[in-house]
Structure 1
Amino acid sequence: MRPTPTATPTTRPRALFAMGRRHRDALFAPAEIQRLTAYVDIDPDHVAENLTEDPALEDVEILITSWGCPVLDEEVLARAPALKAVVHAAGSVKHHVTQACWDRGLAVSSAAAANAVPVAEYTVAAILFANKRVLDIGGLYRDHRAALDWSGRFPGFGNYRRTVGLVGASLVGRKVLELLRPYDLDLLLADPHVDAAQAAELGARHVDLDELVAHSDVVSLHAPALPETDHLLDARRLSLMRDGATLINTARGSLVDTEALTAEAVTGRIRAVIDVTEPEVLPATSPLYSLPNVLLTPHIAGSLGGELHRITSSALDEVARYCSGEPFAHAVHHAALATSA
């Protein structure tokens, strides 16, 4: 049920958009602006893209942020003595919420859970298509334009009792596990912060990463970009993958050694569905663009188009909660940032 603010118009907190203007325009349609102005005192046409020079910051209590938000450092906070809350209409807050924000004791919320939904949907579609060998069969059908013995060419293909390994019980990873529950799949989970009992509650069997990689028909990455996860899938681990297995990466490009993945993919031994890369964008000469066993997409798994309004709705719900004196439903906790995206 949508929260209803108790604040009267004369006590509405002052708010300010802090993001790239094009993102404000994409996220906040007229109906959503109307809902927002019922909760807070805000100039809907004013979008702060440089907070070090914006005089409107002085009496702002709530910053509504998104992609393109300037860094909220000590200098910015010194110019915002009334600031108490940051409501982020996007995923990770690591790019703009600094230690100074936590030292101030700001309440921070994120729409990461809303953004996880389309990423999980993309991932589930990729898993089901990978096991069904849709891209391979579609390519052969296009080339031959005739009925072929698909079972003979792809013995055992399909999703029944196939093994899917998820690396990371992140918001996206957990949503993928939830969406996969109706299917007859064997689910594995590797995450150092989850034990066997917790994995079982999520519907998966907890294993170490090497075992997961070696025994999965599909390996799907959902870990954050941290020093310890850099090139988590390196040449050695990629070599452990089963012949014909599929790697899916909708998390962070840095989780995979691009050179090692390219070397494996060129042989045709494994398949890959890659939405994020290192670097992003790959050089035009990369073989990953044209290999028939690789589906490369330009970071589209997250919220785009109409999906952005799920993020907006989540952010507006959080603003309503704040104005009603309720805690955020999707609060970001400083201690959790060390192991999150």
Structure 2
Amino acid sequence: MPQRPVAMFAMTAENVTRIFPPDELARLRELVDIDLSLVAHDFTDPRVRARLTATEILITGWGCPALDSDALDAAPKLRAVLHAAGSVKGFATPEVWERGIVVSSAAAANALPVAEYTLAMILLAGKNAFAYRDRLRTERSFPCDDILPGIGNFGRRVGIVGASRIGRRLIELLRPFDLRVSLADPYVDEAGAAALGVPLLPLDALLGGSDIVTVHAPQTPETRHLIGRRELALMPAGSVLVNTSRGALVDHDALVEELRTGRISAILDVTDPEPLPADSPLYDLPNAFITPHLAGSQGNEVARLGLTVLDEIERLLSGREPAHRIDLEGLARAA
């Protein structure tokens, strides 16, 4: 029987059993030599340091410390970093790639619940469900046999800002519905949009021609306040802005001003800052629906991230390329 490669966890300790439930943990132990009692949250810890000298596979997650030159020098045998979460930007330094270490992420698995959340919000927004819930709560009764004007999802125009993993998964989920979906993304050409099955529009045209705009672009210096005062003003009266990407992509001061007019509505799972200060007007505006960054993997969904890592380990051990490898060049444009 071939010797199993040495692996180590580097994440917040309580997340290990969430990401790897018992069956997945047993499968992991069959694949690699891993000490379940040792979870790195500080690469300078003597016990962690000793294990690093033999570690070939680092299984990372939320709370992973920075993989800087000091940590990498302590791990001369390290050949793969498999991230059981989304972005690796918070801990993976360029030196990881410079040393030829394979980096893989479960971002594609994490994209699914975000896309599902967004799909649900789009359909509910099309029915104006949140406003009518509030009306029913206030009035305690209103005619239920009327056909309500101005709502519905037949032919509703949905504009997707960013063909990220989540944006692309959302396009797939929207296909069965009678919606008119379009895309804005400076890194996608006409052929790429055609392959996705959606028309490609400049951002201004998408904003001006959509009933629901949903943001799925990465957070970079260039995308800060991508949706600002000018962009919000382009959105039609009665339209809805959905943001499940990063709060800084939307200028919150400008958004509050626009929401106070009652002209548009917003559904925000991410904010800037996060969490919002207790006195933020977004909590009380009737046309703002805020959730606490729960669109991504939560509860039983995090086990999907562990399954992705297990599949990547099996691919590595069989000499195959990881299915979700991340290159340094593409990292800058990733969410």
Partner residue in 1 for 2:22:
30
Per-residue deviation, residues 272-326 of structure 1 (Å, max 9, x unmatched)? 1000011001111111112221110110000000000111111111111111211
8 Å CA contact 1:18–1:49 kept in 2: the answer is yes
Partner residue in 1 for 2:223:
229
Cα distance in 2 for residues equivalent to 1:13 and 1:138: 55
Partner residue in 1 for 2:175:
181
8 Å CA contact 1:12–1:323 kept in 2: the answer is no
- The TM-score with structure 1 as length reference comes to 0.95
Partner residue in 2 for 1:3:
none
Give the C-alpha shift of residue 33 in structure 1: 1.2
**Secondary structure of the structure 2 residue equivalent to 1:201:** helix
Q: Which of these residues, 97, 118, 121, is aligned with residue 123 of structure 1?
A: 118
Per-residue deviation, residues 176-223 of structure 1 (Å, max 9, x unmatched)? 000000111111100001112211221211000011111100000000
Q: Which of these residues, 27, 36, 59, is aligned with residue 54 of structure 2?
A: 59
Letter in 1 for 2:64: C
8 Å CA contact 1:137–1:150 kept in 2: the answer is no
Does residue 157 in structure 1 map to residue 146 in structure 2?
no
8 Å CA contact 1:268–1:293 kept in 2: the answer is yes
8 Å CA contact 1:266–1:287 kept in 2: the answer is no
Does residue 134 in structure 1 map to residue 129 in structure 2?
yes
Per-residue deviation, residues 207-252 of structure 1 (Å, max 9, x unmatched)? 0001111110000000000111000000110111111100000001
Root mean square deviation, CA, Å: 1.3
Per-residue deviation, residues 9-36 of structure 1 (Å, max 9, x unmatched)? x411000001111221321222221100
Does residue 337 in structure 1 map to residue 325 in structure 2?
no
Cα distance in 1 for residues equivalent to 2:146 and 2:334: 42
Alignment length (residue pairs):
332
Give the C-alpha shift of residue 115 in structure 1: 0.1
Partner residue in 2 for 1:49:
41
220-229 or 311-320: bigger deviation: 311-320
**Secondary structure of the structure 2 residue equivalent to 1:242:** coil
Cα distance in 2 for residues equivalent to 1:68 and 1:336: 23
8 Å CA contact 2:19–2:304 kept in 1: the answer is no
Give the C-alpha shift of residue 97 in structure 1: 1.1
Letter in 2 for 1:37: R
Does residue 318 in structure 1 map to residue 312 in structure 2?
yes
**Secondary structure of the structure 1 residue equivalent to 2:191:** helix
Letter in 2 for 1:180: L
Partner residue in 2 for 1:93:
88
**Secondary structure of the structure 2 residue equivalent to 1:183:** coil
Cα distance in 2 for residues equivalent to 1:150 and 1:17: 57
8 Å CA contact 1:322–1:328 kept in 2: the answer is yes
Alignment of 1:290-309 (within 5 A): 290-309=284-303
Give the C-alpha shift of residue 150 in structure 1: 8.2
Structure 2 unaligned regions, length at least 5: none
Percent identity reads 51
Q: Which of these residues, 250, 253, 277, is aligned with residue 247 of structure 2?
A: 253
Q: Which of these residues, 161, 171, 193, is aligned with residue 167 of structure 1?
A: 161
Letter in 2 for 1:198: G
Cα distance in 1 for residues equivalent to 2:133 and 2:76: 60
Cα distance in 1 for residues equivalent to 2:129 and 2:190: 33
Structure 1 unaligned regions, length at least 5: 1-7
Give the C-alpha shift of residue 151 in structure 1: 6.2
